[in-house]
């Protein structure tokens, strides 16, 4: 049986009516609990009313997790950008990292920030991947 990890990238539109911070906390708690159990890792971004997320891990686990996520009424218009085998995981330290965009990120990612407004719905799968990977690798991330 192949153990090659798969990577899935999507974005979606926020449908949380009140207090997104509390809802995102609940989403992250459930994500970290469930993803740890099935060997899924990744990162979630929320900006400009959209979510962008990367899931990686065994193909069946990523598919089952994404099926559940798609049925969640806290977001909608879920758009799959990419789903493919990759040589290795890129978020192996994170059952689900959360990325919020800060002012100094806009300076650091100047061109990208200007071109996309850090809005996941305006990014290609490669751009979203590079942004989330870059931010989770930065020294101050997670502190």
Is 44 an interacting residue with respect to ligand FAD (CB under 6 A)? yes
Per-residue contact flags (x/-) with ligand FAD for residues 49 to 78, judged by CB under 6 A: --x-x-x---------x--xx--xxxx---
Is 17 an interacting residue with respect to ligand FAD (CB under 6 A)? no
Which residues, other chains included, contact 6 with Cβ-Cβ below 8 Å and sequence gap of 6+?
Answer: 56, 57, 58, 59, 62, 83, 84, 85, 86
- Distance from C-alpha of 50 to C-alpha of 59, rounded to nearest angstrom: 25
Query: Degrees (nearest 5) of the Cα angle 110, 112, 117?
Result: 95
Q: How far is the CB of 114 from ligand FAD (least distance, A)?
A: 25
Is 45 an interacting residue with respect to ligand FAD (CB under 6 A)? no
Q: Are 142 and 97 in contact (CB under 8 A)?
A: yes
Determine the 3-state secondary structure of 71 from DSSP: coil
Q: Are 10 and 80 in contact (CB under 8 A)?
A: yes
Segment contacting ligand FAD by CB under 6 A, of 25-33, 84-92, 103-111, 120-128: 25-33
Q: How far is the CB of 61 from ligand FAD (least distance, A)?
A: 10
Residues engaged in binding ligand FAD (CB under 6 A) = 26-27, 30-31, 34-35, 44, 51, 53, 55, 65, 68-69, 72-75, 96
């Amino acid at each position: 049986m192949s153990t090659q990890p798969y990577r899935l990238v999507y974005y979606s539109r926020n449908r949380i009516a009140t207090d997104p911070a509390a809802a995102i906390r609940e989403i992250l708690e459930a994500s970290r609990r469930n993803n740890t159990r099935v060997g899924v890792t990744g990162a979630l971004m929320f900006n400009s009313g959209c979510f962008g997320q990367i899931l990686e891990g065994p193909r069946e686990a990523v598919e089952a997790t994404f099926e559940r996520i798609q049925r969640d009424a806290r977001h909608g218009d879920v758009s799959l950008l990419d789903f493919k085998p990759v040589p290795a995981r890129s978020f192996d330290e994170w059952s689900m990292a959360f990325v919020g965009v800060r002012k100094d990120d806009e300076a650091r990612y100047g061109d990208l920030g200007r071109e996309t407004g850090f809005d996941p719905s305006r990014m290609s799968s490669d751009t979203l991947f590079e942004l989330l990977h870059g931010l989770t690798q930065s020294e101050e991330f997670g502190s």
